[in-house]
Chain A
Amino acid sequence: MTDLTQLGVAQIRDGVRDGDFKARDVAEAFIAQVEKGRALNAFVIETPEHALAAADAADAARASGDLKPLSGVPLGIKDLFATKGYQTTAGSNMLKGFEPVYESTVSGNLFAAGAGMLGKLNMDEFAMGSSNETSVFGNVLSPWRRNDGGNAGITPGGSSGGSASAVAARLAPGVTGTDTGGSIRQPAAFTGISGIKPTYGRCSRFGMVAFASSLDQAGPMAHDVRDCAVMLEAMAGFDRKDSTSLDLPVPNWEANLSSDIRGKRIGIPKEYRIDGVPAEIDAVWEQGIAWLRDAGAEIVDVSLPHTRYALPTYYIIAPAEASSNLARYDGVRYGQRVAPENGNLTEMYEATRAAGFGAEVKRRIMIGTYVLSAGFYDAYFNQAQKVRALIARDFHQAFESVDLLLTPTAPSAAFGLGEKTADPIAMYLNDVFAVPASLAGLPAMAVPAGLDGQGLPLGLQLIGRPLDEQGVLNAALAFEERAGFKARPEAWW
């Protein structure tokens, strides 16, 4: 019999529909893999009963001819999504034990489409990190190892590190991620999987623990482009509970998938060629250009002149929004409380937040508080919002002459755990290629391209016009067909 855990989202859906196997068998197979994969620390909590209940409902639905778009598909849910009755922590001590009394729109949409939940996925605390080393539940390990015979722990990337590790190790066929400045795309690239951040506003932010609200977007991570299209269709949609939700119909991304990209114009931004990036990144980029040219696309050099300012802009705007959003953790309404004996209200706030937040979160709240404080608001925050407008304008001008952009996803392959934790800015530089599209709210997708000399995956990124997820997915499919990326991490866990 087929090993059901080797199947992707669409294959599982189709197999359950066609009666090739029972949804119950799929759920049980993945539940066993999740248990076996605990050494990866990808899951914060396991919820086998949820996955089994959804599987039984799927099997019953098949019998009654009432299947839904994701019937029979068990998924992992990033611990940033509020799940009713299931602990939701955002990787923070502050929210340990927090069991929401409501469901996030995105997870609710997936469950309404018939999907079940295998568990909640580990992540950087409040999604602040690029290596999954800031979670209160500890580091997540990538299933990948270097080909030097050693067993050094490799980061799965962040902040959706548990999500990436779970898919790459086949503990789940698909997962939710969230992307504020690369948190879907960089971990996807590090682990040899696919992931798409849709246009800002496509997926509701309701029930997603807020980090930087003008940037936060949910998206799927899975084995291939089709699976991402299937999941995104279920996740997206207008939601009155999110004031920035786009009131637009959800396109039939899967049905309209086509790798025929003949005549599409694909821009190569020259500012993404930066010093200090390994030659292998440039080589894989050249290879990707050749594949898309082979698919009939026209390759065009473009310029995005403000690219180098994207990262510093992000590291003003995101902390500023975080300092405001995270003010809600006051030890009063939910979350941890630390109340010093005979302390007043302010002392309770200060002690609660000192104990509840980790070092990186405190650092970002402090930066955000500083750039928003009296006397500095104009020099930092307002200036950053102006530069952000220029970064978005660069993209809009480029899209007057091209349909899509192709760039590297990250400036290196995955690094070892602990290798970059000493220097915050070195860690921030990981997202140099991911952040510009976030600042401009554009759809962007990471697809695996090949392995580097150490045997670790490298990915490339496709960026599209606002609302053109279809164009991004189609070019990604053409890319995927030519890359033929089949490498798998060897199971050591």
Chain B
Amino acid sequence: MSVDTATVRHIARLARIAVSDAEVEALAPELNNILGWVEQLQEVDVSGVEPMTAVIPNHLRLREDQVTDGGIRDAVLANAPVAEHGFFAVPKVIE
């Protein structure tokens, strides 16, 4: 399996990271090296093995379905790059 520059652009698009042509050229062999190296996992016999889901046995706790937090709008917005009228602001998404 080999990652070509088109695949790199596709992954970058999925990851929402803008990449220059030079970065794409550099990333393709780097990703190939790493993916080639992890390829060795395919040789492990995993028949009958369930994928790990919890590293230490634990159970998800339930709690009463009630409000435990809130009323801190200013704190929530305190680190927003752009906040307007009590909301996070983003570029226009609906024409």
Contact = CB atoms under 8 A, between A and B. Distances in A.
A354 B90 CA distance: 18
A247 B60 CA distance: 11
Contact of A243 (B37, B55, B60): B60
A385 B52 contact: yes
A312 interface: yes
Q: Main SS of the interface on chain B?
A: loop
B86 interface: no
Contact of A101 (B3, B79, B81): B79
B81 A312 contact: no
Interface in B41-95: 41-42, 44, 46, 49-56, 58, 60-61, 63, 72, 75-76, 78-82, 88, 90-93
Interface residues of A, number: 69
Contact of A98 (B15, B18, B34, B79): B79
Contact of B56 (A199, A306, A335, A351): A199
B51 to A, nearest CB: 3
A319 to B, nearest CB: 9
A333 B83 CA distance: 9
A392 B27 contact: no
A383 B93 contact: no
B interface, how many residues as a size bin?
A: 35 or more
Contact of B19 (A335, A354, A380): A354
B31 to A, nearest CB: 6
A403 B34 CA distance: 35
A365 interface: yes
Contacts of A386: 44, 46, 49-52
A246 B16 contact: no
B31 A370 contact: yes
Nearest to A361: B17
B81 A390 contact: no
Q: Main SS of the interface on chain A?
A: helix
A246 B56 contact: yes
Nearest to A355: B18
A335 B51 CA distance: 35
A37 to B, nearest CB: 30
A382 to B, nearest CB: 5
A1 interface: no
A315 B3 CA distance: 17
A424 B36 CA distance: 13
A293 interface: no
A107 to B, nearest CB: 18
A466 B3 CA distance: 39
Contacts of B93: 344-345
A354 B16 CA distance: 8
A216 to B, nearest CB: 11
A441 B58 CA distance: 12
Interface in A318-341: 323, 327, 330-337, 339
A128 interface: no
Contacts of A346: 16
Nearest to B49: A386
A367 B91 contact: no
A315 B38 contact: yes
Of the listed residues A215, A323, A386, the one surrounded by the most CB atoms of chain B closer than 10 A to its CB is A386
Contacts of B33: 424-425
Interface in A429-480: 439-441, 466
A313 interface: yes
Contacts of B34: 315, 363, 367, 424-425
Given A243-B61, A246-B56, A350-B18, A369 B11 contact: yes
A353 interface: yes
Contacts of B46: 383, 386-387, 390
A270 to B, nearest CB: 19
Given A330-B16, A332-B81, A362-B17, 15 more contacts: A101-B72, A199-B56, A201-B58, A215-B55, A244-B58, A332-B80, A345-B90, A349-B16, A350-B16, A363-B30, A366-B15, A369-B11, A387-B41, A392-B55, A441-B55
21 contacts: A99-B79, A244-B58, A312-B40, A315-B37, A316-B38, A331-B81, A332-B80, A333-B79, A334-B80, A344-B91, A348-B91, A350-B17, A354-B18, A363-B31, A366-B31, A370-B7, A370-B35, A386-B46, A390-B44, A392-B55, A425-B37
Q: Give the top 9 A-B pairs by smallest Cβ distance, nearest first.
A: A385-B51, A441-B55, A337-B81, A334-B79, A350-B18, A354-B18, A386-B46, A312-B38, A349-B16
